[in-house]
Amino acid sequence: MIQWHQVTNSSRIISEAYLAEEQTILVQFTDGVKYAYRDCPLHVWQAFTATNQSRGEFIYDVLDHKPRGLWIE
């Protein structure tokens, strides 16, 4: 089961999760769409979720350059 974490300090993202074995960051946006960003080792997840890190900027600067696609459970 995926453990989603609620994001309260973002205008674009409502929740996020990390699948360590798959090195995949999951993001659920405010419109309900869920995206998977692959090839994300633990240090990328830690940088993404760091205190005062803008999730939107990190997605634009880093995650959008990773293999990605819609996440369908």
Q: How many domains does the chain have?
A: 1
- What's residue 30's pLDDT? 95
Write down the pTM of the prediction: 0.95
Residue range of the domain that includes 32: 5-70
Side chain identity at 6, as an amino acid letter?
Q
Is 54's pLDDT higher than 90? yes
- Over residues 11-29, the pLDDT tens digits come to 999 999 999 999 999 999 9
Nearest to 5 by CA among 33, 26, 31: 26
